[in-house]
Amino acid sequence: MKPVSFLDFILHTKKYPSNSVAVVFGDDSFLKSYAIKVLRDQVLKGEDAEFSLSRFNGNDVTFSDIRKELSTRAMFGGSRRFVWIEDADGFVSKYRGDIEGYLDKMSDSALFMLELKSFPSNTNLFKKMELTGLMIEAKSLTDKEVPSWVMKWSKHRHNIECDPAAAALLFERIGSEAGLLDQELAKLALMTPPNNPIITAELVEQTTGSWRVQSTFDMIDQALAGRTASAIKQLDVLLSAGENEVAILAQIAYSLRKFAAATRVILDAELAGRPVTVQTALDRVGVKRFFMEKSERQLKMLGRNRGSQLIDWLLQTDMNLKGSSRNNPRFILETLIIKIADPRLR
């Protein structure tokens, strides 16, 4: 079977059952994480299902270890195992022959899943996967895809309609980062009036801009300058005014997404042997000229270590606010601000 797109897989999951092997690949961490969650729900069922999950980092495990996991049933949990290798690009390069051999004689009692950044179609492993497994492509959205994706995702994920004008405006204000669009849709879904449960352009216009948005920008400016106490004080102002924590996070994400994207441009360029300047990276991700000097100063202050972790921090904070953590929402947001502001994390 040819690779299926993330959205096609999510919207038509029953068409693509998980058998014995799956590959989830692409450059969008949010889409990959969500696709893997759906696969896990397919395989792991019942109260003790998590006992059947084995999760490894591809840099820290051998194929021999994985082979044992695939052939061993869990003492508790469901009848099938879910053996997940994250960050598996290096693992695949090292054990390509062993993986190809496994595809010739797979275990039907386990799902062997590889999470990859890329999966070249000119390899024998890819061609074997076309015959034997499920491949899900979770690549970043193009600008052209965003409005349609927003409308479909809003209906599927948040059970609410989003009209075309609202989807176009969200793209204009949020950009094409799927995880950040999901956060904003979650906020908007909570704000739709009961008598008109639809995300409209008017609602986007009203909620994705105000003095509170400016206060959030000021808070992020303080954090990026390393002034943690001032940033947290600004957070107090927003919470005291009744601002919703998920809405604050969506606005933080809007402020920081281009720094995350610019960091990725810089690191990818260095990996390819063609380094670029900070200003060039910011220009490529769409930072306007009149914001360039300030943005360049902030990204340099942030540093590549924190810059490369921004999207993961934002996604984790989002999950924590929505129930993954028992901590107070204010504490969860404070933790994010400290991570952004603390120069020791540079």
* Each residue's pLDDT tens digit, 11-58: 999 899 878 999 999 998 889 989 999 998 888 876 656 678 889 999
Does residue 76 register a pLDDT over 70? no
pTM for the whole structure: 0.62
Q: What strand order describes the sheet that includes 81-86?
A: 4-5, 134-137, 21-25, 110-116, 81-86, 53-57
Q: Which domains does the chain have, with CATH numbers?
A: 4-137 (3.40.50.300), 146-345 (1.20.272.10)
Query: Tell me, what's the pLDDT at 184?
Result: 85
Cα torsion angle, 218, 223, 226, 231, sign: positive
Bridging pattern class, strands 134-137 and 110-116: unpaired
**pLDDT digit string (tens) for 78-96?**
568 899 999 999 999 999 9
- Taking the CB of residue 157, how many other CB atoms lie within 10 A of it? 14
Does residue 75 register a pLDDT over 60? no
pLDDT higher at 112 or 18 = 112
As beta bridge partners, residue 83 has 54, 112
